Structure 1
Amino acid sequence: MALQLVQVNMKAHDPERVGRFWAEALGWEVSVEGPGVLNLEPVGFDWPDPSAVCIDVVASSEPKTVKNRIHLDLASTSRAHQEETVARLRELGAEPVDVGQGDDVPWTVLADPEGNEFCVLDPREVYRDTGPIAAVVVDCADPRAMARFWGEAVGWTVREVADDHASLRSAQGVGPYLEFVRTPDAKTVWNRVHIDLLPRPATERPAELDRLKALGATEIDLDAGVPWVVRADPEGNEFCVLGRAV
């Protein structure tokens, strides 16, 4: 395996505003990669490293029309910490949002200043060492099949799998989880939030693209002139295979 899950890519009308929100929400630092592109990483982070999945916020004029199929779950260490986190995030500009979760769930669903949904989880032992991001969560129709594809794609270990959910974590046992949750909603539009993978070394990208195709990934047409390649997983979720060397 020579692909590493390195970051979550978020599209934004105002990347500076969204980037500032998430940097303050996570206690991370923000840097400008280029026009309309902000990188968010833990302070002192040596990218890439499996101990964290970073965030890229990228300018886009496309409107948000549906619930995101990929979102972040944030960890908490106690009920008091969960409540404090929710209050702090609301002061930063987050708003409560109803995604059909009901009134009796122990987590809180919020949306960032551009409506990107995320959850502040109740304290759970399984997330005690993940850092502020407990999990990257993907809505899907078949969690078992998605866990097989993504586990093979990035070499992560399947920690739990059932008909309605599955979870993976890096083979090193660090950083956030990658989770799949069965939902009835079908994918209808290009995802505003997606996953980016990095081939290591960069020269392995052609072989990795062939491997992804054999696993069930499909090609996505994109305008030429960019250093990354776009593919889709078996349920049509777009992801990028980056072209940056390390």
Structure 2
Amino acid sequence: MFLENLGIDALDPRRLGRFWEEALGTTTLTDQPGIFETRLDIDGEAYLDLCFARVPEPNRSPQRLHLDLLGGSAQQEIARRLRGLGASDLDVGQGEVPWIVLGDVEGGAFCVMEERAAYTGTGPLAALPLDSADPERDAEFWAWLSGWVPAPAVAPRTLRHPSGRGPLLELCPEPAPKQPGAKNPIHLDVRLEGGDDPDEVAAGIAARGGAELFPDWGELPWRVFRDPSGNELCVLPAAGGA
């Protein structure tokens, strides 16, 4: 199994997806009513897809996962370009910080980052900070589930694709516990591979502090879980199989 998707709630998937496609230079996979998918190449073989799915109303739950864009010496120039695409400056209480906080075309917060040595080789998407009640525990959970490996960074624990390229998954101390019933506006999806047993994976998630969820979303081809800190995730079936 491997980390395949960022699932992102959207009122207008095409509009939001096109914004992020322009922001990151990704490639369209799916452009259909209700869903827009675009692919971020990591190393020529590995990838991370951004999947924008329509929701009926804005999801105002706290963003426990967000996107940090590579900025560095071009930080101001990149921020200006993103404003030109429809982003706006956002105050989330960040105070005086070296990064720039913006809102995308639906108001979702993201950051354009300053220079950091840890961002070498990330490409345009530098990091995915994820709120965690216990970064040590959750790093072990996500390393097992995603196949990503420990990497040096600023966060207490950080994972990265084994190629050493692509964005960092940063396990960051949560400012507040996950709110019961509040769905994360952005979540991670893991794809099973041939030979992976879905029930064994579900048991492994539970053994490591996660749990399966059974939302009233109708029949789904994937299974929904939470990590040990309550963050939703989906386990997708192996390509071409159940």
Does the alignment pair 1:206 with 2:199? yes
Cα deviation, residue 174, structure 1 = 2.2
Residue pair 2:9, 2:59 contacting (<8 A) in 1 also? no
Q: Pick from 94, 101, 110 the counterpart of residue 109 of structure 1.
A: 101
Q: In structure 1, list runs of 5 or more residues that go unmatched.
A: none
Instruction: Give runs of aligned pairs for residues 195-234 of structure 1, distance below 5 A.
Output: 195-201=188-194, 203-222=196-215, 223-234=217-228
Q: Percent identity?
A: 38
The within-5 A match list for 1:134-213 is: 134-160=126-152, 165-188=156-179, 189-201=182-194, 203-213=196-206
User: 2:23 corresponds to which residue?
Assistant: 25
Matched pairs, number: 237
Moved more, 17-26 or 179-188: 179-188
Answer yes or no: is 1:63 the counterpart of 2:58. yes
CA distance in 2, matches of 1:33, 1:141: 36
Structure 2 CA distance, aligned partners of 1:13 and 1:34?
14
Contiguous gaps of at least 5 residues in structure 2: none
TM-score of the two chains, using structure 1 as the length reference:
0.88
One-letter code aligned to 1:55: L
Q: Secondary structure at the match of 1:84?
A: helix
- The answer as to whether partners of 1:136 and 1:179 remain within 8 angstroms in 2 is yes
What SS is found at the alignment partner of 2:140?
A: helix
In the aligned structure 1, how far is the partner of 2:235 from the partner of 2:37?
Answer: 17
Instruction: Give the CA deviation at 1:224.
Output: 4.1
Structure 2 Cα separation of the partners of residues 151 and 34 of structure 1? 33
TM-score when scaled to structure 2? 0.89
In structure 1, the residue matched to 2:2 is 4
Aligned to 2:81: 88
SS of the residue aligned with 1:70?
A: coil
Aligned residue type for 2:29: S
Q: Is the 8 A contact 1:190 1:238 kept in 2?
A: yes
Structure 1 residues 174 and 225, CA, compared in 2 at 3 Å: closer, same or farther?
same
CA distance in structure 2 between the partners assigned to 1:88 and 1:59 by the alignment: 26
Residue 54 of structure 1 aligns to a residue whose secondary structure is strand
